[in-house]
Structure 1
Amino acid sequence: MSLLDRRQAVVVFLAFAFAYFFAAVLRAITATLSPVLTQEFSLDAGDLGLLAGGYFLGFAIIQLPLGSWLDRHGPRKVNVPFVGLAVAGCAAFALASSFGWLLAARVLCGLGVASCLMAPLTGFRRWFTPGVQLRTNSWMLMTGSLGMVASTLPVQWLLPVVGWRPLFWGLAVLMALSMALISWKVPEWSTEDATKGPRGSYGPVWRHPYFWQMAPIGFFSYGGMIAVQSLWAGPWLSRVAGFTPDAAAVGLFTINVSMLGTFWCWGLVNPWLQRRGIVTDRLIAWGLPLSFVSLAALIVLGPSAGPVVLALFCTTSTFVSLAQPAVGMMFPASLAGRALSAYNLVIFVGVFVVQWGIGLLVDAFRHGGWTEVDAFRGAFGVFLATSVLSYAWFLWSRSHNRPTSP
C-alpha cells in the first residue's frame, strides 16, 4: 500500500486517536474510582490490583491472534468489531452487582480495546515514513495520556453528579461512535498487503535477538510504569501520602498532564533524533536509569512523596516507550502486526503481573506486621529491583546485538 498524503494521514490518525482516547480512559479510570469501588464492593489491595489488571489480562490474551489478523485483514476490519466488544464491556461494568461481575466486564473491556493501539501502529508501518512513524507513535501515546487525564479530575467531578455507573454507559456510547469514525475514514487493506509474508507465523519474531533484547524492559519497566500510572499512583497518594479523594484526583491529573506533555515532546524530537543518527537503543541506555532514581526517591520519601515524584517516575520511564516502534521497524512491513502485537503482549502481561503483584505484596507485607506505608514501600522496592535487572539484561544483550540494532 502506498504512503498516504498529508491530509489523509491526519484524518486517519485522528480517527484512530478518538478510539484510543477512550481506551485510555477505560485503562486508568479504576485509579480514580478505587475509593468508591473499594467501599461499595469491600475490596482489599489484592482485589483492587486484580480488578485493574483484568483489563490488561483481556488485552494480553488476544494479542497473538490479533497480530495475525491485522497483517491479513488490516486495521479497519479488525479494529471495528473489537471496539464493539469494549462497548459491551462498558455496559456490563455499568450493570455489575458483584466483584466477579466487575472483573469479567473489566476483562471484556480490555479484550475490546486490544486493537486500539496495535491497529493504527500496523497501519502506520505501511502508510507512513519511518520518521513519521516515530512521531505518530509518540502522539498516539500522548492521546492515551490525554485520555488518562480525562479519567482523573473530570471523572472525580462527575462522580457526585451522575455516579460511576452512568459514566460507563456514556463511555459505551462514545466508543460506539469511534467505531463509526474508523469505518468511515480508515482505508481498506489491499489484496496485495493481505497476502504478503508468512501467514500467521510468529517464528521470525520469536527468533529475532532484538525482540528478546527489548522484552524484559518492556515487561518490567514499560509494563510497570503503566501499572503505576493507571492504578497504583492513586492508592499511593491516598493511602501512603494521606491525600483526600479529591486531592488524589488532582495529583493523578498532574501526573497524566506531565505524561501528555512528555509524549508530545517525543513526537516533536523523534524525527530530528533519527535524522542525526541518535538511535533508540542509545536513548534507552542513557535515559531509563533516570526512572530508577525517581522510583528510589519515591520509596525513600514515602509519605512525603506526592504527585511530583510520581510524575518524575512516569515521565522518565517514557524512554522505554521508544522500544515499541523500534521493534516494529526491525521487521518487514508484512510482519508489522505480529511484531507489534507480540511486543505488546510482553508489555501488557507485564502490566498485569506488576499491577496484581504490587497488590499481593502490599497485602502480604501488611499481614506480616508491616505498616501500610512500609508495605507499599516494600512492594515498590521489589518492583524497582526487577526493573534494574531487566535493564542489566538490555545492556548485556545490546552489546551482543549491536550490529542488528536500529
Structure 2
Amino acid sequence: MSDQNLAQGELTRSTVYLVGSCLLLYMLSTFLRNSVGVIAPDVSLELGLDATELSRLVSFFFLSFALCQIPVGVLIDVFGARRIILGAICVMLVGCAIFATGTTYSQLAIGRLIIGIGCSSFLMAPLAVYAHRFSPDRFSTMIGIQMGGGMVGMLFATAPLASAAATYGWRSVFWGTAAFGIIVLAAIAVSMKSEPAAPVSRKANVPKLLYSSITGLKDVIRMPGFAPVMAMQVITVGPSSVILGLWGGPWLHDIYGMELVERGNTLLANGILGALGTFLWGMSDRRFQSYRKPILIGSSITFLFLVALTFTKIPREVLPVFLAGLGLFGAFGPLVFAYSRGLFPREYVARGLTLMNTAQIGGVFIHQAMTGYLIDLWEPTMTPSGPEYPLEAYQLVFGLLALEAAFAFLFYWRAKEVYPKR
C-alpha cells in the first residue's frame, strides 16, 4: 500500500486487520484496569485485606500507567509504535503471571504495577498509528472507534469475569488473560508489519527528548482555559473507576448481600451503557454544535445520580437501571478530549492531549487510593465471607464524587467555547 493510500485510510483488508488488532489491544487494557472490582471481596477474604489495602492494590495499575504516559510518547516517536506495543505486551504478560501466582499483598501489588506499565501504551500507540494511516478528517472518528470499541473489555470485567471466577477461580482468569495477550501480540506483529518508520531518528537522544517533553508541559499548563478543562477531565473517570473498577463489588456484597455472579450481572448494565454512551456522547457535539453544552449536561446529570447514591439506598429492584443510567450519562469523556484538542494550538496538541490523558489516569489513581481510607473510617463487621462495611461508609465515597462533580461543573461553567466554526 502506498503512503498516499495509507494517509487516506482506504478500507483495505490490511486496514481492517490493523484496526481489529488495535481494538483487541485496548480491550486488554480496559479489562485489566477494571478486573478487580467484581472479585474484590474474594481477593480481600483470601489475603485478609482491609479497605485501605484493597484500594491501594487496585490503584497501583493507574499509578504506573500515569507515570509512563510521557516516556511512552517519547519512545513511540523514537522506536515506532509496533516495537513499543510488542515490548509492552510482554511486560503485561509478566505482570499477569505475577498477579495470578501472588500469595501476598506485596506480590499482587507488584503484579498490578507491572500490568499498568505494560498497558500504558495500549491507547496512545494505536492512535499514533492511526495518525499516519488515516487522514486528519477521519482521525477523530478513529479515536471514537478505538475508545468505544475498547470498552468491550470493560464489559468482560463484569458478568463474564464473575462467571469465570466463580467457575475456575480468579487466578485462572489472569492466566486466561495472559493467553489472550499472546494472541494479541501475534496479531499486532502481523498487522503492523508494514507501518511507516518512527517519526524521530533512533539516533535521537532519548533522555534529552524526555526532558524537553516534560519541560514543554509548562507552556500547556499556563494556557488560558487549561484549568477548567483539567478539572473536568479528572472527574470524568471518577464514578466509573470507583464504582465499576473498585467499590461496586464490595458495595453490592456488603449492602445488598450479592454473591459473585449476581454482582457481575448487576454491574454489567453500568458497563454496557457506559460503552454505548462513549459512542453517543462522542457524536453529540454535531447536534449541539458545541463541546461545552453537552459536557455541562453530562456532568450535571452525573452529579444528580451521585447525590441520589449519597443520600439514599437505591432499591434493589431498580439498581441495574440506575447503574445503567449512571454509566450512560457519565460517559462524556470523549467530549472533554475533543474540547482539549480544540483548546490547544496545533503545536501544543500532542503535549496537551498527553497531559490530559495523564491527568485522567492520575485522577483514577487518586480516587482509588484515597477512598479506601474513607471507608476504613468505619469499623467493619467480620463475617464468614469477609469484612462488611456499613452503608454510610460507601455513601461518604459517593458524596465525595458528587462534591467533585459539582466543583468541576462550576469551574467549567465559564469555560469558553472552542467548537470549530463551519
Q: Is TM-score (shorter-chain normalized) higher than 0.5?
A: yes
**What is residue 235 of structure 1 aligned with on the other side?**
250
- In 1, the alpha carbon distance for the partners of 2:37 and 2:418 equals 42
Amino acid at match of 2:252: L
**What is residue 215 of structure 1 aligned with on the other side?**
230
Q: Give 1:337 deviation, angstroms.
A: 4.8
**What is residue 301 of structure 2 aligned with on the other side?**
290
CA RMSD between the two structures = 2.8
Q: Does 1:356 align with 2:369?
A: yes
Pairing partner for 1:387 from 386, 395, 405:
405
**What is residue 29 of structure 1 aligned with on the other side?**
35
Amino acid at match of 1:252: L
Q: Give 1:403 deviation, angstroms.
A: 6.1
Stretch deviating more after TM superposition (290-299 or 337-346)? 337-346
- In 2, the alpha carbon distance for the partners of 1:385 and 1:28 equals 23
**What is residue 82 of structure 1 aligned with on the other side?**
88
Q: Does 1:206 align with 2:221?
A: yes
- The CA deviation string for residues 68-96 of structure 1, in whole angstroms up to 9 with x for no partner, is 22344432222221121111100111110
Q: How does the TM-score come out when normalised to structure 1?
A: 0.87
**What is residue 195 of structure 2 aligned with on the other side?**
188
Whether the 8 Å contact between 2:63 and 2:116 is mirrored in structure 1 is yes
Stretch deviating more after TM superposition (91-100 or 134-143)? 134-143
CA change 1:160–1:226 in 2 (3 A) is: closer
Pairing partner for 1:322 from 329, 335, 348:
335
- Does the residue aligned with 1:64 lie in a helix, a strand or coil? helix
Stretch deviating more after TM superposition (373-382 or 226-235)? 226-235
Stretch deviating more after TM superposition (327-336 or 76-85)? 327-336
Amino acid at match of 2:322: V
Whether the 8 Å contact between 2:342 and 2:418 is mirrored in structure 1 is no
Whether the 8 Å contact between 1:20 and 1:116 is mirrored in structure 2 is yes
- In 2, the alpha carbon distance for the partners of 1:371 and 1:13 equals 44
Q: Which runs of 5+ in 2 are unaligned?
A: 381-387
Number of residue equivalences: 395
Q: Give 1:354 deviation, angstroms.
A: 0.8
Amino acid at match of 2:195: E
Q: Give 1:138 deviation, angstroms.
A: 2.6
Amino acid at match of 1:23: S
1:263-274 equivalent positions in 2, closer than 5 A: 263-266=278-281, 269=283, 273-274=285-286
Whether the 8 Å contact between 1:118 and 1:337 is mirrored in structure 2 is no
> Alignment identity in percent?
25
Q: Which runs of 5+ in 1 are unaligned?
A: none
**What is residue 378 of structure 1 aligned with on the other side?**
396
Pairing partner for 2:259 from 229, 239, 244:
244
- The CA deviation string for residues 261-319 of structure 1, in whole angstroms up to 9 with x for no partner, is 2234346x35xx44x67132232123221111111122222252623222222221112
Whether the 8 Å contact between 1:224 and 1:350 is mirrored in structure 2 is no
**What is residue 179 of structure 2 aligned with on the other side?**
173
**What is residue 262 of structure 1 aligned with on the other side?**
277
Whether the 8 Å contact between 1:288 and 1:320 is mirrored in structure 2 is no
Amino acid at match of 2:301: L
Whether the 8 Å contact between 1:303 and 1:373 is mirrored in structure 2 is no
Q: Give 1:110 deviation, angstroms.
A: 0.9
- In 2, the alpha carbon distance for the partners of 1:76 and 1:324 equals 24
- In 1, the alpha carbon distance for the partners of 2:32 and 2:418 equals 40
CA change 1:403–1:177 in 2 (3 A) is: closer
- The CA deviation string for residues 116-168 of structure 1, in whole angstroms up to 9 with x for no partner, is 11112233344334553333323323333211221222222222432222221
Whether the 8 Å contact between 2:234 and 2:360 is mirrored in structure 1 is yes
